[in-house]
Amino acid sequence: MSSRTVAKKVIWARRLVQAACLLLFLWLVWYAGVHGSGEPLPVWVNAFFHIDPLILVGTWLASHALPVACLLALVTIAITVLLGRVFCGWVCPLGTVHNMAAWFRRYAKNLRRRTDPWSPWQRAKYLLLVALLVMAAFGSHWIGVFDPLSLLYRTTTTVLAPGTQYAVEDGATAVYQANPQVGPLKATSVTEPSYRFLRDHVFVRERPVFLGATLMTLVFVAIVLLNLYRPRFWCRYVCPLGALLGVCAKRSALRLVEKGSCVECGRCAMQCPAAASPEKPGGWRSMECFGCWNCVAVCHKDAITFGLRAPTKAPPEAQLDISKRAALCAGLTGAGAMVMMRLNPEAQARVYNPALIRPPGALDERGFLKRCVKCGACMRVCPTNALHPTGLEAGLEGIWTPRLVPRLGYCEYNCNLCGQMCPTEAIEPLSIEEKQKVKIGLATFDRARCLPFAYGRTCLICEEHCPTSPKAIYFVSTEVELRDGKKVVLKQPRVDPELCIGCGICESVCVFKDIPAIRVTSANETRHMGNQPILPGPSGSESWMDQSGPDAYGDEGSGSSEDSSDPYS
């Protein structure tokens, strides 16, 4: 059997593996997004992050600590040392997305026969890797911004999944409302059942919407469109994971081997998505090659094939080709970028950003940024759409890290999914009981808006929903004179800072939907002593209320004091 025939079979195998990996990736995203908070998440739910060596190396450099599961990435490294960058060519779901985009390009623009020779700019990714690793070593985990798996997970979570859901739901609703019909045939008899099936079995949860999805979309569209300029532009020029694997693949055992019948037709170069120079005798770049086998499959002369060679001797063609000076500059750029990003008062903990409410169990800000890979997995798994990608609230350093936006969603009291989900334990995996004690912020009333204070009306929706027991929101009955001189007794709410955990359900249910009359800020968050204005109560007591009995809820009219009988007496 000629190498070409073998290669054609290998290519089909590769396509199947690629499709399977992409589908598996999407299925895992889907799975996380429909999981109820009732049962624990399986460990394999974020498997893709655990096999990602860039996350392994970056997180270890930044925080010197790792969840054990991350060590799985050593397998990826071992495979790369043996077989080259097959992760890029066979496994990486973002690589497959680029592959598909590049495939469209070839047929759409008839660019099949254009040769894309190796470009010195392909070295850029190695310099980016150096810069990012230096940043990580100084404790700034910006790797997640560029890590392809983080990037795709984040984009799927915030853009692709909600976008699909929006299109389907809004489309079906439009048809439902317009109710077009031709004779006895109604369009809804098709759209409604399909819509219901998708709603109940595919989307499952209410449609989420994420802050900053526009930017996320633009970034993603841009990197996909770059395939029009060069196939797999991202993988060739930018991807730091590709660079890391490239370094590992320098002396890979599986190599492109010449059989001596080459006529230098250049077909292989045309088919090479990685611009790994398969056409140059002795010039094949193992660090660039994705191991896709395209070159072998197109070679009419059967002049090349992949074969195993002892990796002991450094082959002459495998040159990193990066000067020490360039590497030093990259490192300095990384360090400089990190310093620049910390040049804001919040990064130096002089003040705290009120809108930076981190998920429960998040480490202190510095520790958190050392671990968070900005993958958006917590946002995906959050059942209330409360977690959103941070814009600049945590500085540029913390872009796309999660923050809770109580106006849009609240932290579900009986849920700890984000901690279970986080692949690097930037959010600690707390038990439900532990998590319920973590304060992520503090609610404050805006008395100029709150109805019983400002408009003489009864409300107390916030108190109704407050999940702690006893409730952190209580009320004081106060006599208020209305415009007509009539006096009414109104229940005016207050917040008990000892009990308030900052879950934000009060803000999310407040009748004001523009600026809620009760708002949660990061004040009092457990993770920062410096951001706690409230002196905690005496140790051993959860609240001063426990000592003073039910009267402390407010006045006689508070309801809670009306029946103070012990239910078990």
Partner 1 sequence: MAGQTRRKFLKRSAVAGGMAVLGPAGVSAAQADTQLCIARWTGNADVPMSEEATKLTEKAIEGLGGMGRFVKKGDVVWIKPNMAWNRAPEFAANTHPDIVGTLVRLCMDAGAKKVKVGDRTCHKAKESYPKSGIEAAAKTAGAEVVYLDDSRFREMALDGERLEKWLVYPEIVESDLVINVPIAKHHAIAKATVCMKNYMGIVGGNRGQWHQALATCLCDITAFMKPTLSVLDATRVLLRNGPTGGNLNDVKRMDTVAAGTDVVALDAFGAELLGNDPSEIESVVAGEKRGLGQMDYRKLAMKELTVA
Q: Give residues in contact with partner 1 (CB under 8 A).
A: 36-38, 169, 173, 176, 199-200, 204-206, 383-384, 412-415, 451, 457-461, 463-471, 475, 491, 509-511, 513, 550, 558-560, 562-563, 565-568
Nearer to partner 1, 52 or 498 (CB): 498
Q: How far is the CB of 471 from partner 1 (least distance, A)?
A: 6
- Nearer to partner 1 (CB atom), residue 60 or residue 413: 413
Minimum distance of partner 1 from residue 542's CB (angstroms): 11
Rg (CA), the chain: 29
Residue 552: how many other CB atoms lie within 10 Å: 17
Pick the closer one to partner 1 by CB: 64 or 484. 484
What's the closest the beta carbon of residue 37 comes to partner 1, in angstroms? 6
How many Å apart are CA 408 and CA 173, to the nearest integer?
A: 22
Q: In whole angstroms, what is the distance from residue 76 CA to residue 48 CA?
A: 11
CB of 459 to partner 1, least distance (A): 5
> Shortest Cβ distance from residue 358 to partner 1 (Å)?
21
* DSSP line for 155-176: HIIIIIHHHHHHHHHHHHHHHH
Q: Are 58 and 150 in contact (CB under 8 A)?
A: no
Report DSSP state, residue 250. T
Q: Which is nearer to partner 1, 448 or 535 (CB)?
A: 448
Nearer to partner 1, 5 or 189 (CB): 189
Contacts of 236 (CB under 8 A, 6+ apart): 119, 122, 125, 230, 242, 274, 275, 288
CA distance linking residue 102 with residue 95, whole number of Å: 10
Decide: 289 and 242 in contact? Cβ < 8 Å.
no
Report the C-alpha gap between 134 and 124 in whole angstroms.
15
Residue closer to partner 1, measured from CB, 5 or 414: 414
Instruction: Give the nearer residue to partner 1 in terms of CB position, either 42 or 557.
Output: 557
Closest to partner 1 by CB, 189 vs 414, is 414
Kindly state the smallest distance separating residue 352's Cβ from partner 1, in Å.
Answer: 29
DSSP 88: I
Q: Which of 81, 4, 16, 2 is nearest to 294 (CA)?
A: 4
- Please identify, using beta-carbon distances, which residue of 90 and 475 lies nearer to partner 1: 475
Residue 358 one-letter amino acid? R
| Rounded Cα distance, 362 and 366, in Å | 10
Q: How far is the CB of 26 from partner 1 (least distance, A)?
A: 20
* Cα distances (Å, whole numbers) of residue 364 to 133, 358, 530: 22, 9, 11
The gap between the terminal CA atoms of the chain, to the nearest Å, is 87
Read off the DSSP letter of residue 43: G
Q: Rounded to the nearest whole angstrom, what is the least distance from the CB of residue 545 to partner 1 in the complex?
A: 11
CB of residue 433 to partner 1, shortest distance in Å: 12
Q: Are residues 548 and 542 in contact, defined by beta-carbon separation less than 8 angstroms?
A: no
